[in-house]
Amino acid sequence: MDSDRPALPRKARHRAHHRPARPHAVLLRLSDEEKTVIDAAAAAAQLTPTGYAAKAAVAAASAGRVPSGVEGDLRELQHELFAARRAVAMFGNNVNQAAAAFNASGQLPDWAGDAVRLCAAAVARLDEVISLVDRKLR
């Protein structure tokens, strides 16, 4: 071999990673602030940022928790508002049926009182959700 000639770069070879044996990857997109927070937490836990993010994500998913922050809070509120909307739509249907029965017979159906109580309960629950939204926005 000619010692004056620089060595040719060797082609990198793929090495199988046995520890930890994790065949799947998830790409995270972070803001500068989020990356800084994860880097600091990973250093404190003596983990790489990737290892820290993986452990945190698996722990949160295993606990069945929704990620905290505005998105998680809004998702929960959205479900509550959908339920309230459904209740109001059902009440509107009941009002139409009661009006049709009253027009036909001159009397309200027996179940009209129950429908009014259910509507009052739905409105009370909607008031609770609105209060919750108000508290989150403050």
Q: Does the pLDDT at position 35 exceed 70?
A: yes
CA distance 40 to 96: 61
One domain, residues 77 and 119:
yes
Question: What pLDDT does 12 receive?
Answer: 47
Contacts (Cβ under 8 Å, ≥6 apart) of 3: none
Label residue 6 by pLDDT band (50, 70, 90). low
One domain, residues 46 and 74:
no
CA distance 122 to 94: 14
**11 assigned to some structural domain:** no
Say if CB 58 and CB 99 are below 8 A apart. Answer: no
Q: Does the pLDDT at position 63 exceed 70?
A: yes
The pLDDT of 21-35, averaged and rounded, is 85
Per the structure, the complete domain to which residue 48 belongs is given by 32-62
Within 13 Å and on the Cβ side, how many CA atoms surround 103? Answer: 6
Q: Which residue has the higher pLDDT, 28 or 14?
A: 28
Q: Domains in the chain: how many in total?
A: 2
CA distance 73 to 55: 23
One domain, residues 112 and 54:
no
One domain, residues 78 and 53:
no
- How does 77-115 read in b/e, with b if 16+ C-beta sit within 10 Å? eeebeeebeebeeebeebeeebeebeeeeeeeeeebeeb
**1 assigned to some structural domain:** no
Q: pTM for the whole thing?
A: 0.41
Write down the mean pLDDT value for the chain: 78
**19 assigned to some structural domain:** no
DSSP-H helix ranges across the chain: 32-44, 49-62, 70-105, 112-137
